Amino acid sequence: MPSREEITYFGAGPALLPTEVLKTAAASLVDYNNTGLGLAEHSHRSELATGILNTTKDDLAKYLDVPNDYEILFMQGGGSGEFSATVYNMVNVWVERRKQKILKELGVEESKIPENDLVQQLQKAVDEELKIDYVVTGSWSLKASQEAARLVGAEHVNVVADARKINDGKFGKIPEESSWKLSKNPAMVYYCDNETVDGVEFPGFPKILEPNGDDSPLVVADMSSNILSRRIPIKNYSLIFFGAQKNLGSTGITVVIIKKNLLPPVVGTPAPTLLRKLGLPIGPIVLSYETIAKNNSLYNTLSIFDVYIAGQVLKSLLATFTDKVDGQQAVADKKAQLIYAALDAHPESFKVVPAKDARSRMNICFRVTHLESVDESEKLFLKGAVEKGLTGLKGHRSVGGIRASNYNSIPLTGAEKLAAFIEEFAKTPK
């Protein structure tokens, strides 16, 4: 059996973790700081746990340069949970702001207007104006849009752009921004910055969504698979979320970075009775950003052990890169360039799936066309890769092919080994 040092794991998630982080975490799982208890056994409400949580938040803010007017929340439920949470919370914000606009137009305080009159006007606004915008560029943004339609109704969901319409029914491109059909004052504009299944990554923040004063859209992004790998213009976003299990840590926690002006006391939360009258869904309290923020992410039992692992990953990154995320971005870009260059050098043996201007640095998706049969080619490729200690390369079950997930924990030497094997495989007799 191969040792840990002999393999490079390119799995898409749960992903490879730094060995030193795992060794530290393993010791802490048995006895944390000579307390006689393992970290997973300590109360999440203990001073020890709070210290770990706050330190991890501070280090994440330091590494990504998170502005002071943003709050960092640790939650559970993964990215899929956030598909729902973003809808619940952002629709709440939209309803509250729309209510305040109605009151301002009427020139009255809420206590001075008959409740039925206010509900009637709000209902009209919900029916005619409420929209949630989705840019669909892959499997995950598609699922997010479908969850929104399930929760609030398809009539309130606007697909701004669907990449399949410009790519023969398949994902692999990002539609030109000039073709996007944005709603007027949507509850949010949602996109997935990096699609793990389809190997598509936005090259940068969409220009069409850049802040433009009071009319700036509320932009929400899923960054589960490329967070910590490049600099983010956080000020352009209202909310960013990401599961930990790609670049940050182990499965079990999800991080939300949210602008504080979307939380009380800046903006209120509609009463459940009002939402029921409007026919809008009421989210579970564990998905309420207000509740999680008020309780410093400790409303319910948070996995402090998983927070600790994330914290150790961040400490390792901060120690490695004095220029923080910019240093990691340079490495991530170099690794991706090495692998793509090897693939592009042999078009007769390999076909990169997404368009060149939409290629992900994190999830490199390609087909092997070395033999007449693609299936046989890919079986041969995967078998040879495993023999070289290159594992986890099989593509997602929904699309097949090969997928090399080039997350931060993949060392430069790992990318070099894969590039060398691609070169070697292309030269094998057909």
Instruction: For residues 214 and 181, state if they share a domain.
Output: yes
Same domain flag for 249 and 282: yes
Question: What mean pLDDT, rounded, does the chain reach?
Answer: 97
Task: Indicate whether 366 and 419 sit together in one domain.
Answer: yes
CA quadruple 15, 407, 396, 429: dihedral positive or negative? negative
Q: At what angle do helices 412-426 and 325-344 cross, to 10 degrees?
A: 10
Question: What's the CATH number where 296 sits?
Answer: 3.40.640.10
Q: Is 325 among the domain residues?
A: yes
155, part of any domain: yes
Does 1 have pLDDT greater than 80? no
- Per the structure, the complete domain to which residue 71 belongs is given by 57-306
3-state secondary structure of 158: strand
pLDDT at 363: 98
Q: What is the pLDDT of residues 350-365, one digit of tens each?
A: 999 999 999 999 999 9
What is the reported pLDDT for 169? Answer: 97
pLDDT at 414 over 90: yes
Q: What percent of the chain stands above pLDDT 70? A: 100
Tell me: do 247 and 172 sit in the same domain.
Answer: yes
Query: Do 383 and 420 have their domain in common?
Result: yes
**32-67 confidence digits (pLDDT tens):** 999 999 999 999 999 999 999 999 999 999 999 999
Looking at the fold, whether 288 and 153 belong to one and the same domain comes out as yes
Q: Would you say residue 43 lies in a domain? A: no
Which of 306, 334, 351 delimits the end of a domain? 306
* pTM strictly above 0.95: yes
- What is the mean predicted confidence (pLDDT) over 120-131? 98
Q: Are residues 224 and 95 in the same domain?
A: yes
Q: Does position 101 have pLDDT exceeding 90, yes or no?
A: yes
pLDDT of residue 111: 87
Q: Which tokens hold the place of 392? A: 């986890």
Has residue 36 been placed in a domain?
Answer: no
Q: What number is the average pLDDT over the span 359-377?
A: 96
Would you say residue 214 has pLDDT above 80? Answer: no
Going by pLDDT thresholds of 50, 70 and 90, the confidence category of residue 213 is confident
Q: What is the pLDDT of residues 309-334, one digit of tens each?
A: 999 999 999 999 999 999 999 999 99
Cβ-count burial 304-327 (b if 16+ within 10 Å, e if not): bbbbbbbbbbbbbbbeebeebbee
Question: Of 240, 275, 306, which marks where a domain is finished?
Answer: 306
Is residue 11 a contact partner of residue 405, using CB atoms and an 8 Å limit? yes
Which CATH number is 370's domain given? 3.90.1150.10
Same structural domain for residues 96 and 178? yes
The DSSP bridge partners found for residue 367 are 351
Note whether 301 and 211 are same-domain residues: yes
| Structural domain includes residue 372 | yes
Q: Which alpha helices (DSSP H) does 31-176 contain, by range?
A: 47-64, 78-106, 115-129, 139-152
How many structural domains compose the chain? 2
Query: Last residue of some domain: 278, 306, 334?
Result: 306
Indicate if 223 and 338 belong to the same structural domain: no
Residue 105, pLDDT score: 93
* Co-location of 330 and 291 in the same domain: no
In single-letter form, the type of residue at position 102 comes to I
> Residue 370 domain-assigned?
yes
Q: Give a yes or no: residue 262 inside a domain.
A: yes
**pLDDT number for residue 337:** 98
Which are the contacts of 306, defined by CB distance < 8 A and separation ≥ 6? Answer: 244, 249, 250, 251, 252, 253
pLDDT value, residue 2: 86
On whether residue 48 sits in a domain, the answer given is: no
For residues 127 and 174, membership in a common domain is answered with yes
Does 430 score more than 90 pLDDT? Answer: no
Whether the Cβ atoms of residue 10 and residue 404 lie closer than 8 Å to each other: yes
pLDDT tens digits, one per residue of 225-263 = 999 999 999 999 999 999 999 999 999 999 999 999 999
